[in-house]
Amino acid sequence: MAEAKALTPRAADFSAWYNELVARAELADYSPVRGCMVIRPNGYAIWEQMQRALDQMFKDTGHQNAYFPLFIPQSFLAREAEHVEGFSPETAVVTHAGGKELEEPLVIRPTSETIIYSMYAKWIQSYRDLPVLINQWANVVRWELRTRLFLRTTEFLWQEGHTAHATEAEAEEETVRMLRVYRTFMEEWMAMPVLTGRKTDSERFAGALRTYSCEALMQDNRALQAGTSHNLGQNFARAFEVTFQTAAGGLDHVWNTSWGVSTRLVGALIMTHGDDAGLICPPRLAQYQVVIVPIYRNDDERGTVLDAAQRVRGELSGAGVRVHLDARDGMKPGAKYYEWEGRGAPLRLEIGPRDVAGGTVMLARRTGGKKESLPLAGLASRIHEIMEVMQRDLLETARARREAASIRGATREQFVAHLEAGGGFVYAGFCGSAACEAEIKEQTKATIRVLPDQEFRSPSVPATCMWCGKPTVAEAVWARAY
Amino acid sequence: MAEAKALTPRAADFSAWYNELVARAELADYSPVRGCMVIRPNGYAIWEQMQRALDQMFKDTGHQNAYFPLFIPQSFLAREAEHVEGFSPETAVVTHAGGKELEEPLVIRPTSETIIYSMYAKWIQSYRDLPVLINQWANVVRWELRTRLFLRTTEFLWQEGHTAHATEAEAEEETVRMLRVYRTFMEEWMAMPVLTGRKTDSERFAGALRTYSCEALMQDNRALQAGTSHNLGQNFARAFEVTFQTAAGGLDHVWNTSWGVSTRLVGALIMTHGDDAGLICPPRLAQYQVVIVPIYRNDDERGTVLDAAQRVRGELSGAGVRVHLDARDGMKPGAKYYEWEGRGAPLRLEIGPRDVAGGTVMLARRTGGKKESLPLAGLASRIHEIMEVMQRDLLETARARREAASIRGATREQFVAHLEAGGGFVYAGFCGSAACEAEIKEQTKATIRVLPDQEFRSPSVPATCMWCGKPTVAEAVWARAY
């Protein structure tokens, strides 16, 4: 690690930059198993911070965690027609176990609707048992042909919420609530702005009534689906006979929702904020928000400086800052700077003999700007302020970049030109036809990311579909996507 | 839930009691997949508390989390001769994926030594890269024929630590350090006393040099292996060519350790503390340490009582107590008591109109004794004190029970009689012969749980093996085990 060779610049080859950054920062690695990644400690620490924040948000909205089996009987997948069509081509199948061939092959879960709703059928009897609000943190497997670390791997880690409700309205409310939770997390924790809205039928989750999505725009102006929330209607309840006695004494199928985000978010974080020097991690998700690098030329200075550095570490840590003192011997300060820049540590504090004498530390921000000398007095609260500003600035910078790459009210020619000029979000009129959507995808590789929610809609939308000229039924946001 | 039917008493049928308790408290359930369990929210909440405590202990001892693939190429298992012999009979194997037959079948990890050390071979070059101290939280699969919820399931959740060191001494130190961490966790958090010591070769982990274990004694006087820590020597390093340049400039294989505990600990917790009314959860691991049950006869009282209950909840929650207000309407207080007793909530606070008027609450302990009226003033600190005492008492009660069921310096006749009289730990002289050990196991179903660590050894040990009469090489602790 900490090789002298610089990363390929983003502008030269975004994809190479991404791969090199992930390797350099030791975030993840390829494994001996095709398409499976190893999440290394530096990458996993970001995922842990994400998990902690999301898990609290799920609990604050009334959800509990549980754990369901990795294995799904193959016949279960087949019970919901769209679901099996969507997922069975990419499943991994256990055919032998304990030295024998299984009577029925077991699929490794690509998602857990079928196994979970088969349990709900057992647990739910009456309207008094509703709502059921459960989440699980788990690994899932989808046999992908083209894989990229974090973005698309055969096995990935995620959370999947699965809820059951007495009415369609409650299920819809839950679906939208969790979409908002995701958006809040992505904006406030990841500093990643997202558009929210509904997916068209062709991009809908296999088995859902309606799918909603959070869509982000990466620095190469390709869109990334960052999280989805599905109103499953009664589709799975019918397939798995999840019924309940209503308050009125009748019998009805429950209404389900499911929603998930995955380790893909680590990839999204990298591609939203990273620069040519490496990762930039928003303070709220950084393993170490502050890294202290001591500077000394001899043993005398070393003692004094390390003492001071340890005091600073203690003070910051006591004030709730995640801080690391990089006291490695035999490594020059410059090499440490380089390494922590690559890993995205938001703030670096340098402490040398002159700083100790003056009762100060030297602050460097990962986002650039001049170094700044800070007094030790009141350091922790100053660091908190600086992190808050950085967190906000990262979001605003990303939002400004996204908006600069978005066009509204596009004609067909403008749409094509925008894609050719580098891409970004294109807001345009859409006729609602799946055939038109498919033709556009085939010819331009762009897809409808969302039919945007009210607040993202353009003040005025062209009256006709930008592609076929038929009347607009909804505004659509197009982009080439990961 | 909350059915009127009492649990089968432990004394009548311990196994039936266990199964009924798990179902009644909604801790776990059988899934449609043979041998796989569903961990329900009440059970998962205990596992989450366990994870949180252990994870912090791992981090405090310098470990970082990472994540390695679920799949292991079948050939990897075979590289370490003992390892493949130990694990291959119980593996689940993926032969098809993405609609095609795989060139090489993939084993679902039964444990991750092989896949992890294949990565360490890539990451470790020099003594400067050591030690590597990594843990992962993951699911693993072992195709078991006889399964019990939590205790032995085909899929289970666990953590597995995997470390690499420059010297044998450091690896041994790490192995013993993590055994101590486990013991501390089991005693201080689970209130479950354990014996620690070394396993004999026949009970050693497949591929290890030495295995150390924490052994607990359940209420039916059967032993349960609660956690193990393995010194793997250079066995896996040789199999996966994990070499490093030494400080002296030579090349050597690293020294590995691995250590793990699993969701089995939830079963151990149940069987250590549960009583005929259900689960008793030690306060430090309880999802809700305090459950508040409001008592009222009409709407007027309801308003007053709920207001007071909410204030109590707020105060306790603010003081770091995990507290739940059970405000369900249409359910009698007695039914709530019954339910929370079954689920093991350590403390119950009852609040009725007279309590509100008097500025008190009524406290009931899950461990029994008279109810006690407590003043609202200073309630939180009193609750903390009561929980500390309960936590300590649970440990002492379990320790006293274990000691009452243990005999030392046993002869063959005493050993057999003790097993027939109900079992427990038997300390005896052991000749060190695997053949003798096997014969005893075959004839009595008892196994050597550990060759106990110094502090658990008897003041005097018979000079001869209790079974064959040959000279003692070490004291052994025998028991029938889960």
Within-domain flag for B331: yes
Cβ(B289)–Cβ(B387) under 8 Å? yes
Q: What is the arithmetic mean of pLDDT over A152-160?
A: 97
The amino acid that residue B399 corresponds to is R
Task: Kindly report the nearest CA distance between residue A313 and chain B, in angstroms.
Answer: 16
Per residue in A181-222, pLDDT (tens digit) is 999 999 999 999 999 999 999 999 999 999 999 999 999 999
DSSP, collapsed to helix, strand or coil, labels residue B307 as: helix
Confidence class for position B24, pLDDT limits 50, 70, 90:
very high
- What pairs with residue B241 in β-bridges? none
Residues in A closer than 8 angstroms to B119, CB to CB, are 29, 31, 38
Q: ipTM of this complex > 0.90?
A: yes
Per residue in B216-241, pLDDT (tens digit) is 999 999 999 999 999 999 999 999 99
Out of A67, A92, A99, closest to residue B94 by CB: A92
Q: If you search the block for the tokens 């109103």, which residue do you land on?
A: A231
**For B92-151, where are the alpha helices, taking DSSP H only?**
113-123
Q: Does residue A291 share a domain with residue A252?
A: no
**B145–A66 CB contact, under 8 Å:** no
Q: Does residue A329 share a domain with residue A196?
A: no
Cα separation values, B147 from B5, B39, B144, Å: 25, 14, 6
Q: Does residue B325 share a domain with residue B237?
A: no
Q: What is the arithmetic mean of pLDDT over B11-30?
A: 97
Cβ(A339)–Cβ(A1) under 8 Å? yes
Within-domain flag for A391: yes
CATH number at residue A397: 3.40.50.800
End-to-end CA distance of chain B: 28
**DSSP strands (E only) in A40-91:** 64-65, 71-73
**B97–A97 CB contact, under 8 Å:** no
Helix-strand-coil split of chain B, %, nearest 5? 40, 30, 35
What would the DSSP string read from start to end of B46-71?
A: HHHHHHHHHHHHHHHTT-EE-B--SE
Number of domains in chain A: 3
Q: Does residue B324 share a domain with residue B182?
A: no
| Domain of residue A461, residue span | 412-479
> Alpha-carbon Rg of chain B, whole angstroms?
25
CA pair distance A46, A266, nearest whole angstrom: 7
Per residue in A45-61, pLDDT (tens digit) is 999 999 999 999 999 99
Q: Which of B401, B423, B456 is the last residue of a domain?
A: B401
Out of A38, A71, A99, closest to residue B33 by CB: A71
Between residues A418 and B3, the one the model is more confident about? A418
Out of B39, B134, B143, closest to residue A66 by CB: B39
CA dihedral A196, A198, A203, A209 (to 10 degrees): 140
Cα separation values, B423 from B8, B191, B253, Å: 21, 22, 44
Residues in A closer than 8 angstroms to B32, CB to CB, are 73, 76, 115, 118
Q: Identify the pLDDT of residue A2.
A: 44
Within-domain flag for A148: yes
Q: Does residue A296 share a domain with residue A218?
A: no
CA pair distance A231, A58, nearest whole angstrom: 17
Out of B106, B141, B155, closest to residue A33 by CB: B106
Weakest mean pLDDT among A128-142, B78-92, B415-429: B78-92
Per residue in B399-423, pLDDT (tens digit) is 999 999 999 999 999 999 999 999 9
Closest CA to A477 of A240, A270, A149, A203: A203
Within-domain flag for A251: yes
**B94–A108 CB contact, under 8 Å:** yes
Those residues with Cβ within 8 angstroms of residue B251's Cβ, 6 or more apart along the chain or in another chain? B243, B244, B245
Within-domain flag for A166: yes
Confidence class for position B82, pLDDT limits 50, 70, 90:
confident
Q: Does residue B197 share a domain with residue B57?
A: yes
**B145–A98 CB contact, under 8 Å:** yes
Closest CA to A361 of A410, A316, A418: A316
Residues in A closer than 8 angstroms to B65, CB to CB, are 41, 44-45, 48
Out of B33, B69, B139, closest to residue A33 by CB: B69
Within-domain flag for B99: yes
CA pair distance B345, B337, nearest whole angstrom: 10
Q: Does residue B93 share a domain with residue B204?
A: yes
Q: Identify the pLDDT of residue B4.
A: 58
Q: Does residue B196 share a domain with residue B98?
A: yes
Q: How many CA atoms lie within 13 A of A41 on its CB side?
A: 15
Is residue A321 predicted with pLDDT exceeding 70? yes
DSSP, collapsed to helix, strand or coil, labels residue A299 as: helix
Residues in A closer than 8 angstroms to B105, CB to CB, are 96
Give me the sign of the Cα torsion angle B319, A185, A67, A161: positive
Q: If you search the block for the tokens 């019918």, which residue do you land on?
A: A238
Confidence class for position B2, pLDDT limits 50, 70, 90:
very low
What would the DSSP string read from start to end of A195-237?
A: EEEEPPGGGS-TT-SEEEEEEEE-TTS-EEEEEEEEEEETHHH
Q: Does residue A437 share a domain with residue A353?
A: no
Confidence class for position B19, pLDDT limits 50, 70, 90:
very high
Q: Does residue A215 share a domain with residue A118?
A: yes
Q: Does residue A198 share a domain with residue A171?
A: yes
- What pairs with residue A329 in β-bridges? none
CATH number at residue B67: 3.30.930.10
Q: What is the arithmetic mean of pLDDT over B269-285?
A: 98
Confidence class for position B123, pLDDT limits 50, 70, 90:
very high
- Choose, out of A70, A88, A106, A156, the residue to mutate when testing the contact with B (most B CBs < 10 Å): A70
CATH number at residue A471: 3.30.110.30
Per residue in A251-302, pLDDT (tens digit) is 999 999 999 999 999 999 999 999 999 999 999 999 999 999 999 999 999 9
Per residue in B296-343, pLDDT (tens digit) is 999 999 999 999 999 999 999 999 999 999 999 989 999 999 999 999
Confidence class for position A4, pLDDT limits 50, 70, 90:
low
Q: Identify the pLDDT of residue B151.
A: 97
Is residue A1 predicted with pLDDT exceeding 50? no
Task: Kindly report the nearest CA distance between residue B175 and chain A, in angstroms.
Answer: 21
Per residue in B335-370, pLDDT (tens digit) is 999 999 999 999 999 999 999 999 999 999 999 999
Those residues with Cβ within 8 angstroms of residue A273's Cβ, 6 or more apart along the chain or in another chain? A191, A192, A279, A280, A281, A282, A344, A394, A398
**B66–A37 CB contact, under 8 Å:** no
**B115–A90 CB contact, under 8 Å:** no
State the average pLDDT for chain A: 96
Locate the chain A residue with the closest alpha carbon to B48.
Answer: A65
The amino acid that residue A195 corresponds to is L
Per residue in A395-404, pLDDT (tens digit) is 999 999 999 9
Q: Which of B401, B425, B443 is the last residue of a domain?
A: B401
The amino acid that residue B44 corresponds to is Y
What is the greatest pairwise CA distance in chain B?
A: 83
> Alpha-carbon Rg of chain A, whole angstroms?
25
Q: Which of B371, B401, B431 is the last residue of a domain?
A: B401
Q: Which helix (H) or strand (E) holds A164?
A: strand A155-165
Q: Does residue A372 share a domain with residue A319?
A: yes
Cα separation values, B315 from A345, B324, B376, B379, B432, Å: 38, 12, 10, 8, 59
Out of A89, A108, A122, closest to residue B99 by CB: A89
Within-domain flag for B387: yes
Q: How many residues does chain B have?
A: 482
Cβ(B355)–Cβ(B340) under 8 Å? no
Within-domain flag for B430: yes
